[in-house]
Structure 1
């Protein structure tokens, strides 16, 4: 251990002190991550009021919720993660939260599409400093066998953020307007960021691992080479990218589908969709992490088989939900695929943390999240928006139904890649 690592570690806490430290850190990272997802979901929920005000097409909205955000998120993700592998991760997360929250507040001040796109660029650049460094911190707080569940608990910030974003966005659209909604959420993030820096201590790197050197970070080329050398890491990149294409497409377009195509009122969005989405996405993320934590004790193949099984459930149930005749039936049938579409998240993130060295984990997580964000967030919503616009002359408002149906072949490809990964997991874990 180098002198820098020894200083970083300090006196190792134990017993109740370590439990309390873990709890506070996980809770604060969860809170900051929730703000991250509220910022993303808010735009999806407010799509109809914003479209009415600024007259956006579905393709333009797909760009705003997907590619405009994802390009800057991805472009900044790896450089910020490399800083996180070399500097204080907690401070970095706090600074990033202030940056993305400031740009979120500025979304409420725009007057046209290009100004809003520019603000979303800023939100994406700031949020690049959130998830990957947070995963690295969690990996240094929990031992390998507990990481899938701990990461599952952390990534519950996604569904909880969807719930808060949907509920608050629907309420705000009816009572304070979409502009004030962005201002309020931005101010909340700016207030919470200093609390994170004050309450959470930077953990020692590699303290929860055995036989893992934590002396120096790997260059980016060597971090990337791990994904080339280990087949399970290659396959998790492919499977997760395709799964993210489906899940982000669903997440961004289901609210518009229910309101525009199925006739769901705005107040019902807050009353019914917000809790349904929050609970089901949470069940998928936490359930995926919990099941893998248990099943992987018997065989590491669980990192692939459980996400593949969830994808097999998603395909027929989502098709049935899209073909339903009313928003009530559609939402009821949507519960199973909304849970299944997020089951891959915690296993994929935990797998990367467990197969990479301590001082390369933020960078490795950022490499995986390039697939999440370029293929998933960047192209999934945009693909659906473009297909919807192309079908609109023939199908009208029903075009969104068939555009969402068009992502099911990508779900099938994701499931096949997840299952194919199982052949390589035992060998890579043994190494």
Structure 2
């Protein structure tokens, strides 16, 4: 399906002054949101002990307690973004998630903490849809690939960078005298909420709402109501196995990331701050390497004549890290586990970037935002809901002892890895055909 064969119109964006500065602000917001999202994973062990939580409850807090509302809130949020002032909506979202992150420092049990996590999820649900909309209106079509990739790569990198920051703040919290009676994990949650408040003031006074790229009203209505579902249905032989693979591997990715510091604490007796530092020190550079190299590799493969280049690299992103993490979790070797985390962080988080880029490449211009949104919905709903929760549930109900989480994640990897590999394999041929049909 090429763009010339559709009735979906394209209207060129005007050059927006200050667009790169605005992109920088959006990237900082994304980085702050990832810290506030993953900070609970960095301090999961002390929070569990302090509040008397089970592995299942912590899995809910790290996964479904965040992901369900994040995914569901995206639907009404997208409507508001399409109709309202995106800069103001972003400011409201940042204010909400920063306030709820700060409030998390004063929770007393599972119920109050999951309410705060829900607030963080609703606030953060605003950012990426609004950012994608702003980038589309601030940058001309030929420029959009780079700013979009830079924005998305920020989240990929900060998925591990958050643990470095969280570990450093938690270590400082143990020695600080500003609030000497406050538990270190509570001080950590309070401290990481502050950058959001500071960025709100900067963004409000320095970034203005760009003019929207408008189509004819009747055409816009047709696109909104009728275009996406038929497009997905027409190419269901690609989308069904593709999204099954995306959902499955996302659940494993988030399971590994969410429990990584806790695994180092339980299996190798590291402190919470040391565990976060080790995971962040290994995960951040490997994540950056994967973010830079894997899309480049897919592009090179595509230029060599393989229209399914992205799918071939996605298969590689499963075939290498899955056996590595199984070995690292089951063999009682510290450096093997650390190396397995590094391998996972090079390949697994990059899958979200690669799949979103794939959606952009195979979709007509007026459907790209929507197909990317569907892809993100699958990633977030399955990743955050299934991964941390299922691993926690298996650890509580099936396995026992300090190795329970490790055994649960290894079991998930042994099942999810082959299923996801087969999903991308089955989608590969039709993805290549859809790529060949594009002309832009």
Please state which band the TM-score falls in when normalised by the shorter chain. Answer: 0.7 to 0.9
Structure 1 CA distance for aligned equivalents of residues 293 and 210 of structure 2: 27
- 1:305-320 to structure 2, matched below 5 A, reads 305-320=312-327
- 1:160/1:351 CA distance change after superposition, 3 Å: closer
- Cα distance, 1:229 vs structure 2: 2.6
Which residue pairs with 1:324 in the alignment? Answer: 331
- 1:167/1:202 CA distance change after superposition, 3 Å: same
- 1:77-156 to structure 2, matched below 5 A, reads 77-140=74-137, 150-156=147-153
Q: Is the 8 A contact 1:152 1:286 kept in 2?
A: no
Residues 47-56 or 191-200, more deviating: 191-200
Per-residue CA distance 1:169-207 (angstroms, 9 max, x = gap) = 223334321112222222211221343344445556669
- Cα distance, 1:363 vs structure 2: 4.0
Q: Is the 8 A contact 1:245 1:375 kept in 2?
A: yes
Q: Is the 8 A contact 2:160 2:287 kept in 1?
A: no
Q: Is the 8 A contact 1:159 1:277 kept in 2?
A: no
Which residue pairs with 2:346 in the alignment? Answer: 339
Structure 1 CA distance for aligned equivalents of residues 411 and 259 of structure 2: 13
- 1:163-174 to structure 2, matched below 5 A, reads 163-174=160-171
- 1:242/1:163 CA distance change after superposition, 3 Å: closer
- 1:17-416 to structure 2, matched below 5 A, reads 21-140=18-137, 150-176=147-173, 177-202=184-209, 216=220, 218-219=223-224, 222-231=227-236, 232-297=238-303, 298-356=305-363, 361-393=368-400, 396-408=401-413, 409-416=415-422
Residues 57-66 or 333-342, more deviating: 333-342
- Cα distance, 1:124 vs structure 2: 0.9
- 1:100/1:360 CA distance change after superposition, 3 Å: farther
Residues 114-123 or 414-423, more deviating: 414-423
- 1:284/1:147 CA distance change after superposition, 3 Å: farther
Structure 2 CA distance for aligned equivalents of residues 220 and 40 of structure 1: 33
Q: Is the 8 A contact 2:30 2:127 kept in 1?
A: yes
- Root-mean-square deviation (CA, aligned residues, Å) is 2.9
Residues 220-229 or 44-53, more deviating: 220-229
Structure 1: give runs of 5+ residues left out of the alignment. none
- Cα distance, 1:361 vs structure 2: 4.6
Q: Is the 8 A contact 2:352 2:379 kept in 1?
A: no
Look up the SS of the partner of 1:406 in the other structure. Answer: helix
- 1:198/1:24 CA distance change after superposition, 3 Å: same
Residues 225-234 or 142-151, more deviating: 142-151
Look up the SS of the partner of 1:110 in the other structure. Answer: coil
Residues 85-94 or 408-417, more deviating: 85-94
Structure 2 CA distance for aligned equivalents of residues 193 and 406 of structure 1: 43
- 1:238/1:144 CA distance change after superposition, 3 Å: farther
Q: Is the 8 A contact 1:92 1:129 kept in 2?
A: yes
- Cα distance, 1:166 vs structure 2: 1.4
- Cα distance, 1:99 vs structure 2: 1.5
Answer yes or no: is 1:424 the counterpart of 2:430: yes
Using the size of structure 2 for normalisation, the TM-score is 0.84
- Cα distance, 1:356 vs structure 2: 4.4
- Cα distance, 1:58 vs structure 2: 0.6
- 1:225/1:112 CA distance change after superposition, 3 Å: farther
**Between Structure 1 and Structure 2, how many residues are aligned?**
413
- Cα distance, 1:37 vs structure 2: 0.8
Residues 333-342 or 63-72, more deviating: 333-342
Look up the SS of the partner of 1:109 in the other structure. Answer: coil
Q: Is the 8 A contact 1:85 1:359 kept in 2?
A: no
